[in-house]
Structures are given as C-alpha cells and as structure tokens.
Chain A
Amino acid sequence: MNRIIFKKQLSDEVFQMRIEAPLIARERRAGQFVIIQINSHFGERIPLTIADADPVEGSITIIFQAVGRTTHLLALKNAGDTVEHLVGPLGQPTHIEKFGRVICVGGGIGVAPLHPIAQAMKAAGNEVIIIMGARNKQLLILEDEMRQIADKLIICTDDGSYGRKALVTAPLKELCEADPKPALAVAIGPPVMMKFCAETTRPYGVHTMVSLNTIMVDGTGMCGGCRVTVGKETKFVCVDGPEFDGHLVDFDNMISRLKAYKPREDADHHRCHLEEVIEKKAE
C-alpha cells in the first residue's frame, strides 16, 4: 500500500501526485519509471515516469494524463487514499555527464519525465536549453520548475496562446544551426513529436536521445510487450531503455504497437468520462 500525500490538477486531464514510496525515492535516478497498479484483483499494471523524488520525505512525484482506465481511476483518488502497488525504480537511468550544450525538448506531458533529466544535466555542469511545447497555454506543465533549471527556456504552443506559435522542432532546428552546436538533444513527448525531433537533428548529426513509454505488463523484461525496433535490433524498453538513440528508433512501428488495444481503450475512456460526469452530478 502506498499513500497519496498530495494531489494537484495541472490541466484538464493532467494530474500531479506525490506518493509515499521510500525505497523507490531512495534508489531512483533520472530517467527511471515505476509501474503502478491500483488494485490487485482486476487492476492493470501501467508504467509512469518519475517526475521527481524526495528521499527525505520518502516520496516520489508522478504526473499523468487521464487517458486509460487506470489513469482515470487514479485521477479520482485524493490525498490520503492509497494505491495498492507501486514498483520500481525501473529502467536504466539516464547517462549523465558534462556534454556541453544540451537541448531538452519536452512535449505535453513529456515535460514531466524530462524534468529530472534536465535537472541532472544542469547539475553535471551542462548548459541546458529547454524547449517546451503544448497545444495551448492551458496544457503547459511545470513551467516554473523548468525555468529554474534552464539557462534558456523556449515555450511553443500550437495555437500561439503562449510563447511562440510554432512546433518544438522550429526552435530545435535553429539551435542545431547555431553556434556552439548542441552536444546532445533529449526529446520526450508524444511519439510523433519525438520522431520529428529526431528527423530535425539528424541532418546536423546532433545525437538525440528519446525516452519511450510503451505498453508494459511486468516492467522487468519478462513479457516483452514493450519491445521496439532500434536499428535492426529488437530492444525491450523496460530493461534496455527507456532511453534510446532517437535516430535509430522505428517510430512508426512503435506508434502502431501503442494502438494495439485502442478500440478497448476508447471504449474505456468514454465510459470513464461518463462515470466522472455521473459522480459529479451525484455530489
């Protein structure tokens, strides 16, 4: 049992929670994730990235979007409630060293897993330029936290409601052409965004790391549900990743694999929203 210490709604469907998990808080490093299961009986296991951790309090912070059955149920929980199972930290930690100029690109909820990586990159002495993107101003998360880390922060929105009206790839391209050339780009966000970030940096030879969030069951290498094609090889996101060379990842294959249970998820999403509406009416 893990107690929820704090909950905050960041935008329409995005929530932040601090959850008691002393062992995970002690061991976790940037880039790692947890698997959460709300209840033992019929609950599913889903991976969520660790946005932050406080080893003193013994807690980790997760940020999630209510898109599936489990994330909807999680969103209905409040401080004081518990989740039955939380396991981690899983995955290989990010390789952190002093590279020079590092561009961190976060799209939508991808800013959450990017946060600890940007933090660690900064702490290692890198010049950290952060590009954050979202569909609109309302969907931007962690702006203050990222501003504290960044040597320079660039905000883009699709509709121009805040920052530049552009896709994140536009400033990324400009930075690839600027002097000094970036030593590394880290892109985390929707698969399509990561794909186009990798395409943007490819002609400039800027090494681009992406962090993949695929479907998983156990998260320890046993099921292989998370596998992706990297170069010509099959890799498991849970034990080989979650970070890979973005220039080698077969994003199209990954995107289609993410849709394996789409019909069922759409039905769940619809039902969960109905349940929320009913619950609100009842209150």
Chain B
Amino acid sequence: MNSEHKTPEQLAEAARKELAGLKKPLSPKQRMAIPAQEMPAQDPAVRRGNMQEVALGYSEEQAKLEAERCLQCPTKPCIKGCPVSIDIPAFIQKIAEGDYKASIGIIRESSLLPSVCGRVCPQESQCQEPCTVGKALKSIDKAVSIGRLERYVADWERESGLIQPSAVKPATGKKVGIIGSGPASITVAADVRREGHEVTVFEAFHRPGGVLLYGIPEFRLPKAIVDQEISSLKSMGVEIKTDFVIGRTRRLTDLLEKDGYDALFIGTGAGLPKFMNIEGENLVGVFSANEYLTRANLMKGYDTRAATPIFPSKKVAVLGGGNVAMDAARSAIRLGAEEVHLIYRRTEAEMPARIEEVAHAKEEGVIFHLLQNPVKIRSDERGWVSGMQVLRYELGEPDSSGRRRPVEIKGSEFEMDVDTVIVAIGNESNPLIRQTTPGLETSKWGTLIVDNTGKTSLDRVFAGGDIVLGAATVILAMGEGRRAAAAINKLLAEK
C-alpha cells in the first residue's frame, strides 16, 4: 500500500553503511551532510489493524549516526528549549561515543521519565525548534532528532535491566500525600520519597498512571513503560492507593488535619472535557475524546474480552487538531471504523499536535478537513447521530495566541454524513477538589493558583501539572512536579 515505507532493517542497513563511511574527526560541514535519520515504524497498512506501538525506535546504528549530526555548538539553544533543561549536547555526545549508560545518566539528572518524554514530548516546538542544524538546513524536520535519541537510550536502559530505583534517605517521619498519579505526581512522588519522607499517592481510577494510561494510546506509549515507572516508585517504598477520590472518599483538609499529612501535592490533571455548545451535542454517538480514549485504552475496549463496550462506528468525525484528536482518530481506525474524518477550524500549520502524529494519522488513512467546523449535529428518529452541518472558514488576522484567527465564510454550510462524533477540543479543570476544599484559590478557568514554588493559597498544599497550567504537556507537568517537590522538601527540612 505504501511503497515509500522503509523497514527497520533497511533503515539500519543504510545507517550502518553511512556510519562506516564517516572519517573522523568530522567537520561541521560533514556532520550536516549526514542524512537525518527516519524513525522506523510499523507499516501503515499493517498497523491500522493493531494496537502495538507505531514508532519502533532507532537501531544502534541509526542512533549513533543521528548523534553524529549534532554540532556540539557552543550556544546550545536546545537546552533552553527543554522545559527541564536536560544537558542535551552532552547526552548526545555520549551516544556518539557508544557510552549509553553515561548518556542516560546525564538525562536522568534532569528528567524522571525519559522513556515517556522521548515518545510524547512535542520536540519540534521545544528542544528541536531552535536546533542549529535545523536552522542551518532551513527545516525543522532536519533538526537533530533529540527526542528519538532520548528514547533510544531510555529504552536501552530499560531493556538492559539497568533501571535502578533511586536511593532513599533515612526515614524522616514526615508524611506527604500526592493526589493523582499522572506525570506531575509521579515526579513529585519520586523526588519527595528520595529525601526519606513517607509518600502516599491517591488515585481515583483502579490503576495508577493518569493520562499516560487512560489518555495516550498503547500504539503511542506502551503501557508496560508506564507500569515500569509505577513499579519503580513502589520499589522506592511509595504507597499507592487506587479507588481513592480526594474530595469524596476523603477531603483534602482531613488529610492535613486528621490523617497527619505534613504536605500535599495536587496533580489531578485537567480532566473535565469541553464541548462545543452546538445543537445535537448530547445525541447518542457523540463522545468526548476522554471517554472514547478511556474506553479504548484503560478499559481495553480494543479487546473482545473487555466488558466495556465501544460504540460501533462506521463513519467517524473527530473535532480538534491536537494530539488528543490524533489519538482519537487513530484509535477509531484501529477499532474498525470505515472512515475517519478529522475536522479542524484552522490550517495544518496551526495544529498543536506533534508533526509525527499528524503524519502517522495521514499515513493510516485519517481524512483531514481543514478550515472547517461543525455548526450542528443531526440525528435520526431514534436520537442517534446521522450527520453534521459544517461551515467553512478562512484565515483572518492573528488573534491573542499569535495564530491567525479563522473567520467563517457566510453561506458555506454543507452536510457531512457521520454516525459518530468525537470532541477533542480540550479540557477544563476538574471541580471536585476546589468544590470540597474551602480556601483553595482558583482562576476564572478553575485552575489552581500557585506561587513560584508551586504552593497554593493553602499552607502545606502544593499543585502542578494541568490542574495549574490548563491543558499542557507531560514534560511541563514533570517540570512543575520538580519545582513543587523541591519546595515540599525545603518546607519539610525546615519544619
């Protein structure tokens, strides 16, 4: 089906030959002449029918060759582009030298979840965006593939069985409660536990991992990787309580006042799906991406043994242009939809999704409809979705986000027949904790207000991740977690 698809073996072989031909030391010009290494991937025709990971990871030859593309430039703009300031040139240098252990050691000084971040970070808008190589070659696609290299050494470490749980200092007798078990919470749990404090993680779902588990699909982030991170926490002595909803099973204030917690971290995520406020949004067959993905991922809807049903869709429309929209569209294909249409109000240039996810979605047959937006959803006589009325847009002046504002073209409405609509236009903050915690200050969007250490308006209560940022990324959540953990450790050391 896809004649351009190269197998991992072909890519490895080409890299091996290229590597053998390199005459060291390499001049910057020679480094820039090395072809950017393509990520080996499952054949699109095959992967449409399975849930396994799409991107297969570099071979050793490819990783070494890609590492040689780094100029080790003195300005190191990549480090500034990384939300947790990983020493990127240094870890890449170690890959070029073949010292993977040293390489992952450098990453681990700054990042806790390299296997995850190497897979899901939007590198093209972070570390790879300012890369000197990409700038010189006038293409973001030609920047050094920092994320793929990060993934390579993180996977090498895991597959070699070298992941060591961090050393834990002697017990301090202090107790820290962490609410939620997504990326921000995992980071805080590890950083706080390291200092010898007792740590309990409270998770509302039956399995820990948060958005890494219920949101990001298996084909983009294998759940075995998330489970590994969780088991690292457990082996450090972090206690994880699932089926525990703070605000309901126990109030936040009770944890502080009655249960003896010295500090708390709230990392409950964004988790309240937004809808578009258009007619027909509550018809049968309209889902939030959260619901659709949770059914598919966490509840294993892709497996016929799962009790959780998945709506039987033939023609699916996914509304949105972010990673979640791509995840939903690509999940729908794998769950057997005949046609999947992605509808986005702006153009591809404005899409917040990672370039790789957009490319993968297209390869898998997702049909993109740009500069379009539904105005109403129609139903049949039973109240089930039968189609949408869609309006066309054109780009106007830039708005406050700097992106050109889509302006509707009057009278351009047309009908689109679909039986399923998945809304992936973002999340608002979950109201549970703010409703049940007096004195916890929130913004007008319902996100928690924190100071520059991550502390909320309540003493001893910190927060981070999407509950503070609104919808953001795994790496930013991790960065926020780091900051809050440092503040918690400082507070408990002083107490």
Residue-wise, chain B 237-259 has the 8 Å CB interface mask toward A (1 for contact) of: 00000111100111000000000
User: What residues of B have a CB within 8 angstroms of the CB of A88 in the complex?
Assistant: 245, 248-249
Which B360-388 residues have a C-beta within 8 angstroms of A? 382-384
Q: How far is the CA of A24 from the CA of B305 in the complex (A)?
A: 30
User: What residues of A have a CB within 8 angstroms of the CB of B288 in the complex?
Assistant: 223-225
Q: How far is the CA of A141 from the CA of B243 in the complex (A)?
A: 30
* Inter-chain contact A227/B249, CB cutoff 8 Å: no
Interface stretch of the complex, out of B87-95, B294-302, B328-336, B349-357: B294-302
Which A36-56 residues have a C-beta within 8 angstroms of B? 37, 40-45
Q: Select B290's contact among A223, A252, A263, beta carbons within 8 Å.
A: A223
Cβ-closest chain A residue relative to B211: A222
Given contact pairs A44-B307, A86-B243, A223-B273, A218 touches B205 in the complex (Cβ within 8 A): yes
Q: Select A261's contact among B245, B299, B311, B383, beta carbons within 8 Å.
A: B311
* Inter-chain contact B249/A220, CB cutoff 8 Å: no
Which A250-265 residues have a C-beta within 8 angstroms of B? 250, 252-253, 256-257, 259-261, 263-265
Which A59-79 residues have a C-beta within 8 angstroms of B? 69-70
User: What residues of A have a CB within 8 angstroms of the CB of B291 in the complex?
Assistant: 217, 223-225
Q: In angstroms, how far is the closest chain B Cβ from the Cβ of A1?
A: 10
Given contact pairs A40-B207, A89-B249, A222 touches B275 in the complex (Cβ within 8 A): no
Q: In angstroms, how far is the closest chain A Cβ from the Cβ of B93?
A: 42
Q: In angstroms, how far is the closest chain A Cβ from the Cβ of B392?
A: 26
Q: For the A-B complex with A69-B307, A256-B384 known, give 14 more contacts whose Cβ atoms are closer than 8 Å.
A: A41-B300, A41-B305, A43-B307, A45-B299, A87-B243, A87-B244, A87-B245, A217-B295, A217-B308, A218-B204, A224-B273, A227-B282, A236-B272, A257-B284
Q: In angstroms, how far is the closest chain A Cβ from the Cβ of B42?
A: 25
Q: How far is the CA of A264 from the CA of B245 in the complex (A)?
A: 30
User: What residues of B have a CB within 8 angstroms of the CB of A89 in the complex?
Assistant: 248-249
Secondary structure of the B side of the interface?
loop
Residue total for B at the interface (Cβ-Cβ under 8 A): 44
* Inter-chain contact B272/A24, CB cutoff 8 Å: no
Given contact pairs A43-B307, A218-B204, A90 touches B299 in the complex (Cβ within 8 A): no
The 10 closest A-B pairs by CB, nearest first: A256-B383, A223-B291, A44-B307, A87-B243, A224-B288, A44-B308, A222-B271, A261-B309, A224-B273, A85-B206
User: What residues of B have a CB within 8 angstroms of the CB of A160 in the complex?
Assistant: none
Given contact pairs A69-B307, A217-B291, A261-B309, A229 touches B299 in the complex (Cβ within 8 A): no
**Chain B residues within CB distance 8 Å of chain A:** 204-207, 214, 242-245, 248-250, 271-273, 275, 277, 281-285, 287-288, 290-291, 294-295, 299-300, 303, 305-309, 311-312, 382-384, 430-432
Q: Which of A69, A84, A222, A223 counts the most B-chain CB atoms under 10 A from its CB? A: A222
15 contacts between A and B (CB under 8 A): A27-B248, A27-B250, A43-B307, A45-B206, A89-B248, A218-B204, A218-B214, A220-B432, A221-B271, A222-B272, A224-B291, A234-B277, A239-B272, A256-B284, A265-B309
Q: How far is the CA of A41 from the CA of B250 in the complex (A)?
A: 26
Residue-wise, chain A 210-252 has the 8 Å CB interface mask toward B (1 for contact) of: 0000000110111111011100001010010000000000101
Q: How far is the CA of A70 from the CA of B307 in the complex (A)?
A: 8
* Inter-chain contact A23/B206, CB cutoff 8 Å: no
Given contact pairs A44-B299, A44-B308, A220 touches B384 in the complex (Cβ within 8 A): no
Given contact pairs A70-B307, A86-B243, A221 touches B430 in the complex (Cβ within 8 A): yes
User: What residues of B have a CB within 8 angstroms of the CB of A253 in the complex?
Assistant: 282-283, 383
